[in-house]
Amino acid sequence: MVTTRKQEALQAEAKEAAAAPDNLSKHSAPENSNLKPTSPTPEDETQLDGEEATEDQNADDDSESPRKKVKIETPEEEITRKDADSPREPGTTERGHIYFFFRPRVETDKPSSLDDVKNLSMLLVPRPPKFSAEDDTQQSGDNSDEMELLTQGADAVPAAEPLDTSAKHYRLITVGKKTLPDPDSRRGGRKENFWATVTAVGDNLDALESRLGEQTYNTKTRGTRHDPPARLVARGCYAIVNNDAQKLSQETTYLGYSLSHPAPDDFGPVQIALGIYRTGAFVLQVKNPEASGALSTKDVVYPPAIMDGVFGKGTRGREPTGLRFAPCAKPQMLDYVGVELLLVAVRGGETGLEESLGEGRGEALTEAAEMDEVLSVEEIFRELWGGDEGQILPEVLNGEWI
């Protein structure tokens, strides 16, 4: 059989293509594509601090976490973006520091068990991401569009808490059953779930300090009564994350935390009795304030963007008000006193935290908490109450009741 030069050329090209690696890898994927490599390309390497790419930088290194390009945002830019019309955005919507308090029962100055506890509360103090806060001190406004390569999960790590200032946004959430839901407990085949309520929202922790402090009041039947001050039992880092759902019915919001205090050796019967673990993750749902049976109907008025976009008023659910429960798609949903929440325990331990938050966020959150273990108790109170030593709340960070 006679072979022409053209046929020989075609055959040679076919052999070369078969011997070459996947041709798709030679073309960069769109920036928003799931095919986008998580490790930097040689071109990306040249953008890092002006350093030249080397063979060592391009080589695979299993010991390092995957990195991805992320646009650096100032805290103001992040708030503006998340206040946009879009009702839901996958990924980390908020991160910050979490504090657990319990208040003893009336006239109980020396609590010794869960029976002596009146209620358990979580204090959320949002913070910008650590990488954003660090970058904001080094870059000018001219570089606001610069893209940075970040370690996977970095968007869940909060910036350090400023000390000696009480001007901070906060939310106090009171848990209904005095303990957090147990991830290992099941009732009727279902995971344990507890009610919670947003009981205080503000921008200055001084007001919260007086609220959690000692209270004395008069009653008609029992005379003067005394409420002991709330007691700090744990501190750590938290993140609120929306999953990347493919269907509306699969949308889920997770609240995950990792504790920095008490130290592992000081973790004791107080934390155990209150259901506070070293790490935890819950499904976070918000009850529709306009739904029938909602306790907060008269107190909470969400804007149309939340009622229509999150609860699906008039379009989703069996009632004209929309879904009775919905994921906490926007953290602003927690900024209303009286909002009713449902906490569903899903997974326990560091593995469960990572499985819930995904994309390295659980591991990054745990590492951030471990780094904060060097903070002293004095520094924790300074980041909470601005260094006012006159009204420091009693604490049981040593894990003991008394």
DSSP 314-361: TTSSSSTT--SEEE--SGGGGSSTT-EEEEEEEEEHHHHHHHHH-TTH
Neighbours of 101 (CB within 10 A): 22
Segments of the chain with pLDDT less than 50: 1-2, 17-63, 84, 136-142, 144, 297
pLDDT tens track for 115-130: 999 999 999 999 999 9
Q: Is 317:323 a contact under the CB 8 Å cutoff?
A: yes
What distance in Å separates the CA atoms of residue 253 and residue 89, rounded to the nearest whole number?
10
Handedness of CA 201, 240, 191, 183 (dihedral sign): negative
Nearest alpha carbon to residue 110 among 401, 324, 355: 401
* The predicted structure's pLDDT at residue 92: 94
What distance in Å separates the CA atoms of residue 33 and residue 43, rounded to the nearest whole number?
18
Nearest alpha carbon to residue 106 among 214, 204, 209: 214
Helix and strand counts by DSSP (H, E) for the chain: 11, 15
Helix (H, G, I), strand (E, B) or coil at 306: helix
* The predicted structure's pLDDT at residue 139: 47
Within 41-137, strands assigned E span: 67-71, 91-104, 117-127
* The predicted structure's pLDDT at residue 71: 56
For tokens 């780094």, what's the residue? 371
DSSP secondary structure string, 214-250? -EEEEETTTEEEEEPPPEEEEEEEEEEEE---SSGGG
Within 5-151, strands assigned E span: 67-71, 91-104, 117-127, 147-151
CA atoms within 13 A on the CB side of 346: 21
Cis? peptide before 269, omega within 30° of 0? no
* The predicted structure's pLDDT at residue 80: 56
What distance in Å separates the CA atoms of residue 134 and residue 132, rounded to the nearest whole number?
5
* The predicted structure's pLDDT at residue 210: 81
pLDDT tens track for 376-399: 988 998 999 876 555 555 567 878
Backbone angles phi, psi at 75, to 5 degrees: -55, -35
Contacts of 394 (CB under 8 A, 6+ apart): 228, 229, 231
* The predicted structure's pLDDT at residue 136: 46
Please report which helix (H) or strand (E) contains residue 395, including its range: none
Distance between alpha carbon 378 and the CA centroid of its chain, in Å? 25
Handedness of CA 385, 387, 391, 395 (dihedral sign): positive
